[in-house]
Amino acid sequence: MARIGFYSGSFDPVTFGHTDVIARAVELVDRLVIGVGLHASKSPLFSAVERVEMLRMETVLIADKSGTEIDIVTFDNLAVDAARAEGATVIFRGLRDGTDFDYEMQMAGMNGAMAPDIQTVFVAASPQVRHIAANLVRQVAKMDGDVSAFVSPEIEACLKKRCAPPEESGNGA
């Protein structure tokens, strides 16, 4: 029986922190499903289609190197229900610090009550990516800052294109 894991997030954009968790999660399962959460109350910088495509770009080498199948899906329901729909028996959650731990412990408890057959596995962020948060990466990019330490060159290009100021019309009016 294949071991299937589920890793969810908004991935807006996918960062080195996300790929750090993904690279370590694939070592523990035969198939990893990455769930891009769609929330009506959020206004993401990138569309769901763009976020899925960015994840595909960022995970192809991880899948090739590990030999683990990586699938990317979108979901608009509870992550635990999306995990169950994919046949997952484990949900991976990345932890950067104590604040993440407190929140994720609450979430794991709720998920465990709703789906006792699905375990939560916490993956502590590697020291070199522990400080990276996608919301901060978006803020830096929107202010034309250097995000190269936080995302791949491909994602940096996507951010620059999306966050570039509108060009002057040149009308002189």
What tens digit of pLDDT does each residue of 74-94 get? 999 999 999 999 999 999 999
Residue-wise pLDDT tens digits, 1-39:
899 999 999 999 999 999 999 999 999 999 999 999 998
How far apart CA 57 and CA 24 sit, in angstroms, is 17
Nearest to 12 by CA among 127, 139, 101: 139
Residue percentage of the chain with pLDDT more than 70: 95
Alpha helix segments (H runs only) across 94-133: 98-114
Evaluate if residue 165 carries a pLDDT over 80.
no
Residue percentage of the chain with pLDDT more than 90: 88
How far apart CA 156 and CA 162 sit, in angstroms, is 10
Residue bearing tokens 């709720």: 110
Evaluate if residue 171 carries a pLDDT over 60.
no
Average pLDDT over residues 158-164: 92
Given pLDDT bands bounded at 50, 70 and 90, which one contains residue 167?
low
Residue 157: which region, alpha, beta or left (left: phi > 0; alpha: psi -120 to 50)?
Answer: alpha
Evaluate if residue 169 carries a pLDDT over 60.
no
List own/partner pairs for 26-30 with CB under 8 A and 24 or more apart: 26/62, 26/63, 26/66, 26/68, 26/70, 27/66, 27/68, 28/3, 28/90, 28/121, 29/2, 29/3, 29/4, 29/5, 29/68, 29/90, 30/2, 30/3, 30/4, 30/68, 30/69
Given pLDDT bands bounded at 50, 70 and 90, which one contains residue 170?
low
Q: What's the pLDDT score for residue 91?
A: 98
Q: What's the pLDDT score for residue 41?
A: 80
Q: What's the pLDDT score for residue 40?
A: 78
Evaluate if residue 173 carries a pLDDT over 70.
no
- Please provide the average confidence, as pLDDT, over all residues in the chain: 93
